[in-house]
């Protein structure tokens, strides 16, 4: 491509609206942008004046894909503000529910949205002819994950059973045994997805960056930990603003963030790069089979890391269920004493580390809120990837450049607004003025 403008207006197969804009002149990159044209959501203002008990239900509506993550992060922040530490049973069930969402979301992205890129198909539909069994496997895993979230959370999305310091309904031991059996049966399907990804040609592109994720001494962190960076530093969650510094750019309605460098990445690859040694044995085997080794600096491998995490979430959930069954499911009091305070929650949701912070008054009503979502933290990293990737592929045809850039953005599994309005793709060619 010598001259012209590539403008991908409303990139498809991502959650929400985003545009890629590239201008080329005399064979050289002149300008590029990763734009977010979405209207701001104002959730931080919406929760002000609301009761501590309602915050999780309201913020769960930020996203239809990671509503469980938002719920748990909000509950954690509120509990920290109130000085409450939930029981081991509550924490185990929350971790089990979060694993369900991780499988749900990763399968949706890796299976339905990303695989077509690697197989050169415009969507999953044409793959039915060539990869029927693989698509059916994806459907089965998705069903398992949906029913899993339904059982523990009371609903497939926007869970209703998790509340501050406990649950409104606990699963029975029989239900947990049934779930355990289904998860064990689902392992074969997860391995079929690993095999599918082994056969795919993942673009080779490297750009070292900072990877940030939660880190926990005893487990591959999803639900709790400290903020860890592959640059070697750690930050306690309450001090998150010192580590993750937000900023804005004029052409995007989404905030961005940076830490040690110009940008950083969060998500499955960031978790893997920080915590790979803590994966379950099966997930370690999957990573090895897929050629994923820390520290991996290829953003296209984020989807591969998601597949590894699916294996991890299934295996770890069996361990959690065994622990729950060994303890016995016991009804617990979830009373809390309301007080004024500030609390921060941090949870690894499918797309990366999520922060919720609330300040409550003495009646338990929110006076201030701050939320930082994973995709916002990835925007600058995506643009910095483009800065390195575009010059490497500028000699290729326009269509190929466009597809590669779309794949790059999709690899981050961005959840741009979580409001899934319809998407269109538009390419405007022609000379740059």
Partner 1 sequence: MTGRRRGSVLILGLGNPWWRDDGVGPAAVALLGQRPLPPGVEVLDGGTGGLGLLERIAGREHLLVIDAADFGEAPGTVRRVSLEEARLCRSEAPLSFHQVGLAEVLDLAERLGIAPRNVYLFVVQPARLGPGQGLSAEVQAGLEQLLDFVCQTLEELLPVRAGVEGG
Shortest separation between residue 167's beta carbon and partner 1, angstroms: 16
Q: Where are the strands (E) in 283-325, listed by range?
A: none
Four-residue CA torsion sign, 137, 138, 143, 149: positive
The rounded distance, in Å, linking the Cα atoms of 194 and 127 is 17
Give residue for tokens 């998150």: 240
**95 lies in the binding site for partner 1 (CB under 8 A):** no
HSE at residue 381, side-chain half, CA atoms within 13 A, is 32
Candidates 71-79, 86-94, 169-177, 359-367; binding stretch for partner 1 (CB under 8 A): 169-177
R_g of the chain, CA atoms, integer Å = 21
> Looking at beta carbons only, is 290 or 418 nearer to partner 1?
418
Four-residue CA torsion sign, 405, 408, 412, 413: positive
Give the number of residues in contact with partner 1, rule: CB under 8 A.
Answer: 37
Candidates 44-52, 170-178, 227-235, 338-346; binding stretch for partner 1 (CB under 8 A): 170-178
With a CB cutoff of 8 Å and minimum separation 6, the contacts of 277 are none
Query: Of 265-304, which residues contact partner 1 (CB under 8 A)?
Result: none
Buried b (16+ CB within 10 A) or exposed e, 298-331: bbbbbbbbbbbbbbbbbbbbbebbeebeeeeeee
Query: Of 45-84, which residues contact partner 1 (CB under 8 A)?
Result: 64
**422 lies in the binding site for partner 1 (CB under 8 A):** yes
Candidates 40-48, 174-182, 306-314, 348-356; binding stretch for partner 1 (CB under 8 A): 174-182
Give residue for tokens 């803590």: 278
In degrees to the nearest 10, what's the CA dihedral of 195, 196, 201, 205? -80
**139 lies in the binding site for partner 1 (CB under 8 A):** yes
Shortest separation between residue 138's beta carbon and partner 1, angstroms: 9
Query: Of 339-378, which residues contact partner 1 (CB under 8 A)?
Result: none
The rounded distance, in Å, linking the Cα atoms of 322 and 341 is 36
Residues paired with 257 in a beta bridge: 246
**142 lies in the binding site for partner 1 (CB under 8 A):** yes
**128 lies in the binding site for partner 1 (CB under 8 A):** yes
**146 lies in the binding site for partner 1 (CB under 8 A):** yes
Residue in 3, 23, 38, 147 binding partner 1, rule: CB under 8 A: 147
Candidates 45-53, 133-141, 161-169, 238-246; binding stretch for partner 1 (CB under 8 A): 133-141
* H or E segment and range at residue 304: helix 302-327
Candidates 82-90, 150-158, 262-270, 280-288; binding stretch for partner 1 (CB under 8 A): 150-158
Shortest separation between residue 142's beta carbon and partner 1, angstroms: 5
* H or E segment and range at residue 149: helix 132-153
With a CB cutoff of 8 Å and minimum separation 6, the contacts of 427 are 6, 7, 8, 398, 402
Residue 133: how many CB atoms within 10 A of its CB? 9
**424 lies in the binding site for partner 1 (CB under 8 A):** yes
Buried b (16+ CB within 10 A) or exposed e, 178-199: ebbeebeebeebbbbbbebbee
Q: Where are the alpha helices (DSSP H) in 218-301?
A: 240-243, 268-275, 281-289
> Looking at beta carbons only, is 168 or 172 nearer to partner 1?
172
Residue in 135, 314, 369, 382 binding partner 1, rule: CB under 8 A: 135
Residue in 27, 53, 88, 175 binding partner 1, rule: CB under 8 A: 175
**335 lies in the binding site for partner 1 (CB under 8 A):** no
Residue in 112, 187, 289, 341 binding partner 1, rule: CB under 8 A: 112
**157 lies in the binding site for partner 1 (CB under 8 A):** yes
**93 lies in the binding site for partner 1 (CB under 8 A):** no
Residue in 26, 42, 120, 174 binding partner 1, rule: CB under 8 A: 174
Q: Point out which residues bind partner 1 (CB under 8 A).
A: 12-13, 15, 64, 108, 112-113, 123-125, 128-129, 132, 135-136, 139-140, 142-143, 146-148, 150-151, 157, 172, 174-175, 178-179, 181-182, 420-424
């Amino acid at each position: 491509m010598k001259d012209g403008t590539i403008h991908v207006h409303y990139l498809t197969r991502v959650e929400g609206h985003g545009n890629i804009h590239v201008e080329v002149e005399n064979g050289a990159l002149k300008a590029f942008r990763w734009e977010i044209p979405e209207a701001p959501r104002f959730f931080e203002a919406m929760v002000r004046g609301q009761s501590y008990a309602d915050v999780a239900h309201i913020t769960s509506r930020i996203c239809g894909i990671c509503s469980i993550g938002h719920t748990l992060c909000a509950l954690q922040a509120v509990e920290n503000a109130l000085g409450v530490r939930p029981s081991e049973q509550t924490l185990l069930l929350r971790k089990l529910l979060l694993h369900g969402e991780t499988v749900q979301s990763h399968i949706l992205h890796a299976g339905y949205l990303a695989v077509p890129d690697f197989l050169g198909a415009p969507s999953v539909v044409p793959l039915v002819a060539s990869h029927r069994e693989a698509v059916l496997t994806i459907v089965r895993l998705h069903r398992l994950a949906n029913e899993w979230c339904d059982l523990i959370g009371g609903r497939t999305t926007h869970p209703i059973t998790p509340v501050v310091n406990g649950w409104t309904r606990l699963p029975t031991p029989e239900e947990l045994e049934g779930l355990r059996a289904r998860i064990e049966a689902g392992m074969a399907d997860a391995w079929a997805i690993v095999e599918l990804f082994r056969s795919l040609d993942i673009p080779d592109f490297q750009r070292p960056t900072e990877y940030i994720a939660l880190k926990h001494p005893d487990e591959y962190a999803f639900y709790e930990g400290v903020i860890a960076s592959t640059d070697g530093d750690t930050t306690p969650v309450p001090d998150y603003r010192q580590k993750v510094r937000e900023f804005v750019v004029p052409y995007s309605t989404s905030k961005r963030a940076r830490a040690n460098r110009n940008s950083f990445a969060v998500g499955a690859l960031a978790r893997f790069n920080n915590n790979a040694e803590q994966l379950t044995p099966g997930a370690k085997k999957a990573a090895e089979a897929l050629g994923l080794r820390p520290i991996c600096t290829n953003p296209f491998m984020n989807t591969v890391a998601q597949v590894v995490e699916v294996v991890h979430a299934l295996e770890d959930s069996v361990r959690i269920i065994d622990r729950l069954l060994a303890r016995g499911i016991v009804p617990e009091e979830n009373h809390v004493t309301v007080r004024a305070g500030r609390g921060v929650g941090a949870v690894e949701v499918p797309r990366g580390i999520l922060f919720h912070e609330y300040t409550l008054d003495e009646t338990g009503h929110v006076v201030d809120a701050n939320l930082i979502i994973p995709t916002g933290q990835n925007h600058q990293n995506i643009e910095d990837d483009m800065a390195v990737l575009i010059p490497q592929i500028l000699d290729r045809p326009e269509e190929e450049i466009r597809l590669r850039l779309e794949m790059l953005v999709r690899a981050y599994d961005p959840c741009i607004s979580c409001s899934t309005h319809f998407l269109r793709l538009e390419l405007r060619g022609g000379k740059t003025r």
